Structure 1
Amino acid sequence: MTNLKNSFGLMSRATLVLIIFTTVSLILSRIWLLGILPPGGADSFWLRLPTACASILSVILTILIIHKLTHERKLALLTGFFLAINPWHIEQSRVYSPAMVGLSVLLAGLLVTLFTKKTILKLAISLPTLIGFYLVYPSFRLFGNFTIKLTLYEFLHNLFKLISVDYLFFHDDSYWAGGFRTFGVLLVSTLPLFIAGLFYLVKNFNFAYIRWLIPFIIIWVIAASNPMFPEQQEYFLITPYLTLILAYGSLFFYQRFKSGNLFIKTILTVLIIFFMYEQVLFFHWYMIHYSNRIKNERLYETEAF
């Protein structure tokens, strides 16, 4: 208990606020009205609860993994914070989503492997992780008849679409099960953070980072090769990568805010206000317009079929 008190005592006020805000927003956005929003059947709550729990677990695991890899508390917490408020992550957490549960399984396996340096143990841990991933996400492209039926042009088009500004920040049309496609994978207000984070990572690039890029590249290729594109879920697995970039960008701007002049502080304050406004707007669209759209689509399907 004394060590716990000392740990909290060493934290800055901003860090404590970030932890509290992340925890509250994570629980409320995943559990509150889970059986009602989005509209579902009588048993929607119990069908969605495992996914909601997996969503919360994925945020916790991401924080632990980033902290284990970098030993930077703020970076880990910021990564978890941006994952907790990510539009796509929230949307997937409130429906039955094998991809969300699969993400938690992969993150859990990765975290365990970080506690050993022996290759044989890492491989031993990887096997049950992959089996668990298959059990919860059997529709993953690699587990079926993986053949690329697209032309080279179509495949390259899909690849570039998945990393385009329009897809990432404006229109996420990977609407599996009628998902929330009014917003992008990330909020528009986080674009400056994303650019700053990419700039930092490119500037401080280390060849040791390549091994951590391999999973991203594999998922990127698998998602782009899906014959049902853009209606695919595989790309959802890279959301922790995107929020890590935002976390690096946040630290970049935070340093500028602390040491900047009044003009820089004013610009950054405006960006923060815009970010808060867009987050409120997202929840408004999700709770009102998105729910109404789902109701109308189901009403149309009932009348038409």
Structure 2
Amino acid sequence: MDSSTLIQLNKISLYLLIIPVALFYLFKINSIPSGMGGGERILSGLLMISSGILVYFSTLGLWKNRTVSLLSVFWFYFSPVILTYGRLLSPIPSGIFLIVFLFFSFIYFENKLFKALSFIIFIILLKIIYPSFYLFNSFFDYKHYSVNFFKLISGQFLFFTNDTFWWGGAREYGILFLAVLPFLIFGLYDLLVIKGQKLKLPLYFIFSILILSAGSPHLPESQEFLLAIPFFAMILGKGAHLFFSSHFSTILKYAIILSFAGFFTYQLIDFTHYYFIHYSLRVRNEASYHATAF
């Protein structure tokens, strides 16, 4: 198969990833969550979809592998955070788009002056569209730093419970699906042993966001760590590619792939159930409680 055909197949695959995510964002957008207009929230979905496209081209520029890029976009679009916040009127979609664009500029701009200028523009725009970012309004919380740090990297927060925001979607799931854990381990290993500092850039972005987020005096309500999701997706893309390229026996590899696919599909369906049934009821009940109490 020639390169032009592969590029076309890659583009088609990217479009096929966007379609189900767009449908998820639009489904019952006027009623879930209740009390929010659907029209304004369409912008959040568009920002998330655009961020995924930037993730694709960023990883393509970084690792020169279209399969890794597609896998990264897949993990990005189908993470609990991206599915949830693409339906909310929140600064998170704008913040994610900005930070992925900053990453994109670091990949494609070799000139240090352009990189510095991109960072300055990023800070200015972040101040405008994400004024609740804690560093713009309060001080670094040294007192609870270690507690916050270990909370953010805990398995409980990453895979099982998202308590970072009142409108946080299905709290029964963390910021990643548990099914992706093997690929996260493979991806982290690959980035740790790979030569070349630039190739480790997603890891540096996650670490930087973690350091800043752990200093927030507003945890667990603070949401800054959610900006790391695109870079987790990139690591998962790298890890999945490494896993599928590993020299397991054919039978073992297919058995693992089928097991993973089944578990991931189950978690995705279960998350969708929690979001459209349990989450919508909880938000409606909590909104009713606050309206009555205050």
Fold shared, TM-score > 0.5 on shorter chain: yes
What SS class does the counterpart of residue 109 from structure 2 fall into? Answer: coil
Unaligned stretches of 5+ in structure 2? Answer: none
Q: Residues 101 and 252 from structure 1, CA distance in 2 versus in 1: closer, same or farther, beyond 3 angstroms?
A: same
State which of 265, 275, 281 in structure 1 corresponds to 2:254. Answer: 265
Q: Residues 122 and 207 from structure 1, CA distance in 2 versus in 1: closer, same or farther, beyond 3 angstroms?
A: closer
Q: How many residues align?
A: 293
1:168 shift after superposition? 0.6
Instruction: Tell which deviates more after alignment, 139-148 or 55-64.
Output: 139-148
Q: If the length of structure 2 is used for normalisation, what is the TM-score?
A: 0.90
Residue of structure 1 equivalent to 2:290: 301
Residue identity in the other structure for 1:24: I
Residue of structure 2 equivalent to 1:166: 156
1:83 shift after superposition? 0.6
Residue identity in the other structure for 1:64: F
Contact 2:202 2:231 in 1 (8 A): no
Matches within 5 A, 1:125-164: 125-148=118-141, 150-151=142-143, 154-164=144-154
Unaligned stretches of 5+ in structure 1? Answer: 1-5
State which of 28, 34, 39 in structure 2 corresponds to 1:39. Answer: 34
Name the CA distance, whole Å, in 1 between partners of 2:165 and 2:232. 19
Residue identity in the other structure for 2:237: A
Instruction: Tell which deviates more after alignment, 189-198 or 56-65.
Output: 189-198
Q: Residues 264 and 147 from structure 1, CA distance in 2 versus in 1: closer, same or farther, beyond 3 angstroms?
A: closer
Contact 1:173 1:230 in 2 (8 A): yes
1:39 shift after superposition? 1.6
What SS class does the counterpart of residue 246 from structure 1 fall into? Answer: helix
Contact 1:25 1:84 in 2 (8 A): no
Residue of structure 2 equivalent to 1:275: 264
State which of 2, 5, 13 in structure 2 corresponds to 1:9. Answer: 5
Deviations 1:222-254 (A, max 9, x none): 211212211111001100121112112211232
Residue of structure 2 equivalent to 1:3: none
What SS class does the counterpart of residue 108 from structure 2 fall into? Answer: coil
Matches within 5 A, 1:1-305: 9-11=5-7, 15=10, 18-41=13-36, 44-148=37-141, 150-151=142-143, 154-204=144-194, 206-209=196-199, 213-256=203-246, 260-305=249-294
Identity value in percent: 28
Higher relative contact order (CA 8 A, sep 6+): 2
Contact 1:178 1:294 in 2 (8 A): no
Deviations 1:69-109 (A, max 9, x none): 11111111111111101101111111111122022123224
Name the CA distance, whole Å, in 1 between partners of 2:129 and 2:34. 24
Contact 1:169 1:185 in 2 (8 A): yes
Q: CA RMSD in A?
A: 2.4
Residue identity in the other structure for 2:184: F
Contact 1:189 1:271 in 2 (8 A): yes
Q: Residues 74 and 51 from structure 1, CA distance in 2 versus in 1: closer, same or farther, beyond 3 angstroms?
A: same
1:213 shift after superposition? 4.0
Name the CA distance, whole Å, in 2 between partners of 1:118 and 1:263. 46
